[in-house]
């Protein structure tokens, strides 16, 4: 069974600074996706960034980038130039890449606060 672990329940960052959120996972599959989702108080899960396991290059989306270490099964999210609107819960998630099984397995999440 696949598991996703986020061991930091809370983190805080100063506005305009950089913060890194950690995630580890366990799977016996070789072809999968990893995601970071943001859940603001509005409750809707918003996809922040996606990484395909077969790609060695780390994904980036504007101020968001990941450090994907496949052998170590580690997948961290770096937020640069943090903004007040980045304050939310962040979830790391895993999904197999092909086949009928498209369910997402989530970690417990981390609450990120941004100090003005």
Partner 1 sequence: DAGVTQSPTHLIKTRGQQVTLRCSPKSGHDTVSWYQQALGQGPQFIFQYYEEEERQRGNFPDRFSGHQFPNYSSELNVNALWLGDSALYLCASSLFAPGTVNTEAFFGQGTRLTVV
The alpha carbon of residue 46 and the mean position of all alpha carbons in its chain are separated, in whole angstroms, by: 11
The verdict on 11 binding partner 1 (CB under 8 A) reads no
The verdict on 43 binding partner 1 (CB under 8 A) reads yes
Site for partner 1 in 52-111 (CB under 8 A): 91, 93, 95, 97-109
- SS3 (DSSP) at 38: strand
**C-alpha to C-alpha distance for 69 and 54, rounded to whole angstroms:** 11
The verdict on 14 binding partner 1 (CB under 8 A) reads no
Q: Spell out a b/e string for 82-98, using b for 16 or more CB atoms within 10 Å of the CB, else e.
A: beeebbbbbbbbbbbee
- Residue 80 or 111 with smaller CB distance to partner 1: 111
CB of 70 to partner 1, least distance (A): 18
Give residues in contact with partner 1 (CB under 8 A).
Answer: 4, 6, 42-47, 50, 91, 93, 95, 97-109
């Amino acid at each position: 069974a696949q598991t996703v672990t986020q061991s930091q329940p809370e983190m805080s960052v100063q506005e305009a600074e950089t913060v890194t959120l950690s995630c580890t996972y366990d799977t016996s599959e070789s072809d999968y996706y990893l995601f970071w989702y943001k859940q603001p108080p509005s409750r809707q899960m918003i996809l922040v960034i996606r990484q395909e396991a077969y790609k060695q290059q780390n994904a980036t989306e504007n101020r968001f980038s990941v450090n994907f270490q496949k052998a170590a099964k580690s997948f961290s999210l770096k937020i640069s130039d943090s903004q007040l609107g980045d304050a939310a819960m962040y979830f790391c998630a895993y999904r197999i890449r092909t086949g009928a099984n498209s369910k997402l397995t989530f970690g417990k999440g981390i609450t990120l606060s941004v100090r003005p």
